[in-house]
Chain A
């Protein structure tokens, strides 16, 4: 109790000037725990959002402005899956989310593969042109969603067992869907780490991104590896898009909301470093939740962006730049 008081007094004062009674203290404690959880939850959301980009941009150096639209593709796949299951296999509604996440991954993975083979690879020698061409692609994808699904948002039903909150005490409610996202993100991140660092394919992938000529010389099919890395990054975006239908809105412009934030997370952490992406998601999330509680949403956003700019000024290659490349 003293510990909490000592640490949290200023914040609590700002919110509830006369927090004296026992009940009030419990509420304040509850809010504090929930804020901590919010930070954790936002951390996983940002991480999931940035993971695909960390691979596509961080490892391959491809600036894919249509990355957000690939997330939206995952979200729309989830919507279609939900609608299909609702109408044809209502018994599976309880687990539809798992099916949808797998499908979203499959669809965006395939799309990413085709995209790399048919489009992205022509731009490898001119990275900034990729930015422009994929911007064009993102316009086309947005319009496709609009033409197919309508300009309005579509609603993706919430899985029943994920709605509601876990209440360890009376004053603490932790939303179940967020707990689910936390768990899933940890799983996905570990999976990616495992693939990249513990499998033969991951070894090849890292080899290609670090030294293409040498990898090619030792017999690695670099084209195939490129396509698969890009597809993996896209697939992760698909998973993120699918999961975000639980917390956000699904509309043709959804991708635009995520893309810049994702880039900022990846660059802030330092490219070519999964650890950096994780650390930067964590820092940004903690700051955002704390600042949003203390000041207005707009000012919190401004403060975070300024901090990112400042950090990039002092550490131009991000917080966790890999030393080989610096």
Chain B
């Protein structure tokens, strides 16, 4: 069967919707569905990485910063709810007597949700625009972002009275009184998450098909020519980086809800590199592929470490090498070849 690229993409999106809305919820029990929910939290970031890296050539190894921000924002709200009217337990152990001022806004769910979506926008934009204006790119940008994420991890762990330190923020069970730990709660979160994710993938696809999408590719391939044509390429790059930051933040919030805790390692370099690998495994040029990649790597980690607890890293490492070596454009490329999608 020969199909065009456009048809192929529509099939992929439809297939993803079918998988997430129909197949997985029907086929999986609450245990696996919760795990899928956790992997899907990472897939938000992976979609952002496809946009920024796959289409615009910006490799950020600091996506964990925004992922962590969303996660901590959500967890702060949940923790305040869980411990009200007392202070969160870790503050008590650290002899913090008054709620730090920057926790105050997070006693409101509206503010929390707004901040998850909105705070990354100015932060990511100003940071990225300043850097891209200086024409820092490629590996240097990757290193700057990695340094940034390390800085925040160290800061976070050091301020344990206000952030929970190395333990992170744990032990919350309700969202506005609604139990989010039991199976029904997890399933409800799953639906919210899937709806958000499908919205994100659809918007991402629309963005890539717009004139702006073409511009992104042009910036990736010949930034100087785009610049000479009169475009502010730094603005374009900062914009797409900001989009990916917001996606990461939403993913982080979902992670806090699904996993029931956040820890400093979410911000760190290892998480950030892994997130890039999720996107690479799925296919850096495919929004749907990124989601599938996150699902697949997440599943492999859980499955392999369960069945081969002593040696599972061999398989995981081997898989990364295999994918990069044999399938440089990830699994999405494999599907394209199988379905003979015309480029």
Contacts and interface: CB of A to CB of B under 8 A. Distances in A.
A, B co-complexed: yes
Contact of B147 (A136, A144, A308): A308
Interface in B267-308: 269, 273, 276-277, 280
Contacts of A132: 276-277, 280, 320, 324
Given A129-B328, A298-B157, A316 B140 contact: yes
B141 to A, nearest CB: 9
A147 B325 contact: no
B324 A136 contact: yes
A298 B158 CA distance: 6
A132 B328 CA distance: 11
Contact of A316 (B135, B320, B324, B325): B135
A281 interface: no
Interface of A is mostly: helix
B311 A143 contact: yes
Nearest to B269: A260
Contacts of A263: 143, 146
B155 A298 contact: yes
A298 B310 contact: no
B326 to A, nearest CB: 10
Interface in B314-337: 314, 316-321, 324-325, 328
A258 interface: no
A166 B150 CA distance: 36
Interface stretch (A77-85, A97-105, A209-217, A299-307): A299-307
A133 interface: yes
Interface string A97-139: 0000000000000000000000000110011110111011111
Contacts of A301: 151, 154
A127 B131 CA distance: 21
A63 interface: yes
Contact of A136 (B157, B158, B311, B321): B321
Interface size class of B (residues with CB under 8 A): 35 or more
Nearest to A57: B139
Interface residues of A, number: 41
B134 interface: yes
A150 to B, nearest CB: 11
Interface in B133-189: 134-136, 138-140, 142-144, 146-148, 150-151, 154-155, 157-158
A137 B317 CA distance: 6
Contacts of A126: 328
A65 B272 CA distance: 14
B148 A309 contact: yes
B59 interface: yes
A208 B62 CA distance: 33
A59 B35 CA distance: 43
B325 A122 contact: yes
23 contacts: A122-B325, A123-B324, A133-B320, A133-B324, A137-B317, A138-B317, A139-B313, A139-B314, A139-B320, A140-B317, A140-B318, A143-B314, A147-B310, A263-B146, A267-B143, A299-B158, A302-B155, A305-B147, A305-B151, A309-B148, A314-B134, A316-B135, A316-B140
Interface of B: 53, 59, 130-131, 134-136, 138-140, 142-144, 146-148, 150-151, 154-155, 157-158, 269, 273, 276-277, 280, 310-311, 313-314, 316-321, 324-325, 328
7 tightest A-B contacts by CB?
A136-B320, A139-B317, A298-B158, A140-B317, A143-B313, A316-B136, A136-B321
